[in-house]
Amino acid sequence: MVSFLKPVLKQIIMAGKSMQLLKNLDCKEAEESERSSRDAERKSLYTLFLESVQSRLCSQEESPTDTVTEQQATKRSLIKMQSIIAQHLEIDDIHDPLLAINFARLYLEQSDFHERFSVGDFIVDRSSQSVTCQTFELTLRSCLYPHIERRYIECCGNLMKTLKKDYKLLEYLQAMRNYFLLEAGDTMYDFYTAIFDKVQEKESWQQLSFLNVQLQEAVGQRHPEDSSRLSIFLEAIDPARKKHPVNNLEVLTLSYKVPWPVDIVISSECQKIYNQVFLLLLQIKWAKYSLDTLRFSDFTDVAKKLEGALAEDVKVKESINQQIHRMCLLRVKLMHFVNSLHNYITTRILHSTGLEFQHQVQEAKDLDQLIKIHYRYLATIHDRCLLREKVSFVKEAIMKVLNLVLIFSDRWQAGFGAWKIESIDKMESDFKNCHMFLVTILNKAVCRGSFPHLESLALSLMAGFEQC
């Protein structure tokens, strides 16, 4: 690449990529653009450059009578430059931008050259460059770069318009958020609650046929156009991780078939990040669903029966009531924690970041910029959902609480006689330790200013911690 094109190198490359992709797409937009270009007999960049040079030289306002001789000399020099260029084109039949050097030399002695060609933000430093280099740079800045910029905006704009209009780019980006980030709440609720119900009933749910049928039924009711694109797979996980119930969901991998050329933006690597967030959301939803489905009536019926059988034993009766009371209090504390985490992820992170992402997509000028915006969006939600390796210890503490929620729910549903006072002590102690650890870590991070987005979560957890 010649050095004088470096300032517009990105625009040249992106315009070329966009034009090539438009031709491969064989889209109506490209055909209309080509047709209108042929009708208007679009001029080449080389021709536009020469015309700009000529226009700049001839655009000076009428000078006093004593400058007529200089104007005539300018016209003669311009005719001479055009004659040289014409001879060159007749012999070689090529378009060579370096012919501008001839122009630079022809007008090197022109006294008002810099006034005519310089732009507002360009200051000539006569001590650091030769006059020839200054002249050439000013010529390119004023007569060539604007034409390249306009072609770049036109080509890339046509491609972005085609991807959004003909290939439904925005609809596919929304579909990824609907299913992987659970924005389609009613649809995905039908899917994941079918799994959670199977778990509560102690039935096998890790069957590919069952999972895909549930997914297709949930999606087909409200979004039939996506039912053929969505599927779910089962991946093997480390057997040691299965000891903790919350990790059992890690076998799930959601897949969405993205057609070309939209898969240039929504790549397989992007889907991996989407899946990590999807898994975290499922784990939080599972904990929340497990607590929401518990009923106080499960205890009151048992307590009445035991009170009738042990009516004369006051100490035993008080012990039973105390255990039930502690279980109810622990349930409320766990619900506060899970709801705080759920609200932080869904509103503070996914919703607000999603709105910002949609605005940036609308403002994207070219495909590379759109790809970077999408990757930055995924990196942001991945980071703020505490999935980054650097803050893995925070996620581990959260997973311990979610796992404790599932154990607690299982014991609640098992009935009063299925657990002892010691198990309540351990659950309360484990939760208090994890809660205290998270509140301390998050408050320190917020005070340092390193994670300002965690402030709402830290304050919410702190409010619950004060009542533990």
pLDDT digits (tens, 9 = 90+) for 142-184: 777 787 788 878 888 888 898 898 899 999 999 999 999 999 9
Asked if residue 190 lies in contact with residue 218, where contact means CB atoms within 8 angstroms, the answer is yes
- Which one has a higher pLDDT value, 289 or 59? 289
For residue 393, is pLDDT > 80? Answer: yes
SS3 (DSSP) at 127: coil
In sign, the C-alpha dihedral spanning 233, 238, 239, 241 is negative
Centre a 10 Å sphere on the Cβ of residue 223 and count the other Cβ atoms it contains. 16
Q: Which segment of 115-124, 266-275, 322-331 scores lowest on mean pLDDT?
A: 115-124
Residue 286 is predicted with a pLDDT of 96
pLDDT digits (tens, 9 = 90+) for 328-349: 899 999 999 999 999 999 998 8
In sign, the C-alpha dihedral spanning 136, 139, 143, 147 is positive
Considering the chain, what is the average pLDDT of its residues?
79
Farthest-apart Cα atoms in the chain, separation: 126
Average of pLDDT values for 99-123? 48
For residue 31, is pLDDT > 70? Answer: no
Asked if residue 192 lies in contact with residue 279, where contact means CB atoms within 8 angstroms, the answer is no
The answer to whether the peptide bond before residue 146 is cis (omega within 30 degrees of 0) is no
Which burial class, exposed, middle or buried, applies to 455 when counting CB atoms under 10 A from its CB (0-12, 13-18, 19+)? middle
> Which range is most confident: 105-114, 321-330, 369-378?
369-378
> Which range is most confident: 184-188, 270-274, 313-317, 382-386?
270-274
Residue 238 is predicted with a pLDDT of 84
| CA atoms of 272 and 233, how far apart (whole Å) | 13
Tokens of residue 195, six digits:
């799994």
The tokens 């208007």 sit on which residue?
40
CA distances from 390 to 375, 384, 387, 455 (A): 19, 12, 8, 18
| CA atoms of 312 and 459, how far apart (whole Å) | 47
Q: What is the percent of the chain where pLDDT is above 70?
A: 72
